[in-house]
Amino acid sequence: MFTQHGNSSEGLVKAILSGDFPGVLDITFATVDVRDAAEGHLEAMLRPEANGRRYILAGNQLSMKDLAQTLSDNYASKGYKINLDQISKEEAQKSEHPMIKRMIPQIGTKMMFNNERSIKELGLKYINIKDTIV
């Protein structure tokens, strides 16, 4: 069930599936399955050696294009009309879509992270985000 606020990954997926999002932007997100985030928090609390340490709980990078393509591959046959057209930064700047307006500063960026510590010290094995999506 989707919530009403729309300022989240859930809101983006809803907008893409509903056809409300007019295409894909050149953005790459750092992502994590909520089950991995919960496991990471639990492991950090249970392991004395983790006391006072910081961990990046992000398991995957996913471009908006890959997100939209994954949704299309799995849900287009169920009647969802997912727009895979690329939206340029110039087109985005002209858009009135509130979600696109919030994403303009991220266009052309790629979220980079190093989750090696969470894997080695907390024993996390991140779920592939494409499995989370479907």
Instruction: Count, in order, helices (H) and strands (E) of the chain.
Output: 7, 2
DSSP 24: B
Q: How confident is the model at residue 3 (pLDDT cuts 50, 70, 90)?
A: very low
As a residue count, the chain comes to 134
Query: Would you say residue 2 has pLDDT above 50?
Result: no
Distance between CA atoms of residues 16 and 129, nearest Å: 17
As a whole number, mean pLDDT of residues 116-126 equals: 97
Closest CA to 29 of 1, 67, 2: 67
93-117: pLDDT as tens digits: 999 999 999 999 999 988 889 999 9
DSSP 111: -
66-101: pLDDT as tens digits: 999 999 999 999 999 899 999 999 999 999 999 999
Query: Would you say residue 6 has pLDDT above 80?
Result: no
**Which residues does residue 63 pair with via DSSP β-bridges, in sequence order?**
28
pTM of the model: 0.84
CA 129 to chain centre: 8
